[in-house]
Amino acid sequence: MRMMRFLAILSFASTVVPAARAASPDTSPWVPREIAPGVHMLEIPPDYYAAAISNVGVIEQADGFVIVDSGMSAGHGRAIVGYVRSLAADKPIKAVVITHWHNDHPQGISAIRDAFPKVRIIATAQTKAGMLGPEVGSLAGLTPSREVDEAARKEAGVAQEQIDKILADPDLPEDRRARLIRSRQQWGELAESWPGTYIVPPTETFARQLDIPDREHPVSIRFLGRANTAGDAVIWLPRQKVVFSGDIVVSPIPFGFYSYPKDWVKTLGRIEKLGFVTLVPGHGAPQNDTRYIGQLIGSIEDIRAQVGPLARKGMPLAEIRKNVDFTRFEAVFATSPRLKAGFAGLWIEPMVENAMKEALGTPIVQGEGEVQADPREKERKKGK
């Protein structure tokens, strides 16, 4: 049975700040933000505590909208359609760019295509291969499926049960209780948004660059090298100097699963060189300088420098994990107890494995590794 295996652990990536924000029913789970005239993002707010769901880019061209990523579910796709119609009732979505295959980025497309059947769906060839290859095992599947809908509902139910157990503690601090109640509700909303979710493969792919011209808002879709996945697309708006990085940049804690440490550093350098004014990360708030990119590069280099020599000496992965010390960068990224709880699982553990494979010349295969985003997946594989 296919599962949304990214969900539970990634939810730690949310920060502790409870924002005083009224949820917009039209764009839930996102909050819209105009980052330049005609350039919007649908942002996952810091007080979203259920699964990790991608930010979305909305770029208005003269003859239609270009969308960057689409969320995790059919309901998310419908929210994007609703938002676009609120901006310009008669303008179609002409293209959706999928930055990479992880399930929280492509799974809203079916609903967008239902509303705009001629929509172009664009990704790198690697991302398309991923959506049709072994990785698809952790995606929703290529057709609507009641089995998948049911699995999603169950998984949300498990998360809610865990929350209920914690809520039963009468001594729970009030702020934590409020967060948990909010999280419980968001898991319910995610499950409700799910029925009918399936994957629509890209209708066109590119190798290096694909441009969508426009007088005011030209869009340049680039592959700048492997990073978070084998085929991350970067969306560059040369006139507004806005870049949508996908999960090459994720804050406040980066995600490290099945990634390519050495290439990632180079790719981050190429993003830096674009000279952006605003960077919209795959998850997290927009950025206006290269400080966070510098921290990411620093952490990846630190992991490579510590893991590489041990791996080349023949040390097994479990031993390497005991012989490295990443407290320096934990202090940089994990600035709260909640973030600290997610830092090792989301970043250090997968990145140590990636760095070891890289040092030994072992291929890093998308969707395959000792570290699973959801530890329950490993147990299922063991047949427990």
Residues that bind Zn ion (CB under 5 A): 54, 102, 104, 247, 282
Radius of gyration of the chain from Cα atoms? 20
Contacts of 150 by beta carbon, 8 Å cutoff, 6+ apart = none
Q: Residue holding tokens 């040369």?
A: 238
Nearer to Zn ion, 38 or 71 (CB): 71
Nearer to Zn ion, 6 or 236 (CB): 6
Which of 167, 164, 166 minimizes the C-alpha distance to 156? 164
- 3-state SS, residue 226: coil
Q: Residue holding tokens 């865990």?
A: 162
Nearer to Zn ion, 57 or 282 (CB): 282
Helix orientation angle between 291-312 and 261-273, rounded to the nearest 10 degrees: 160
Nearer to Zn ion, 104 or 374 (CB): 104
Shortest Cβ distance from residue 217 to Zn ion (Å)?
A: 24
Shortest Cβ distance from residue 70 to Zn ion (Å)?
A: 11
How far, in Å, CA of 203 to CA of 356, rounded? 36
Nearer to Zn ion, 102 or 179 (CB): 102
Residue type, 136: V
How far, in Å, CA of 109 to CA of 73, rounded? 8
- The torsion defined by the Cα of 366, 371, 374 and 375, in degrees rounded to 10, comes to 150
Shortest Cβ distance from residue 284 to Zn ion (Å)?
A: 10
Give yes or no for a contact between 194 and 74, defined as CB atoms under 8 angstroms apart.
yes
Nearer to Zn ion, 102 or 184 (CB): 102
Shortest Cβ distance from residue 52 to Zn ion (Å)?
A: 6
Nearer to Zn ion, 27 or 251 (CB): 251
Other C-beta atoms closer than 10 Å to the C-beta of 26 total: 13
Shortest Cβ distance from residue 189 to Zn ion (Å)?
A: 18
Shortest Cβ distance from residue 384 to Zn ion (Å)?
A: 28
Q: Residue holding tokens 């003269």?
A: 62
Shortest Cβ distance from residue 161 to Zn ion (Å)?
A: 25
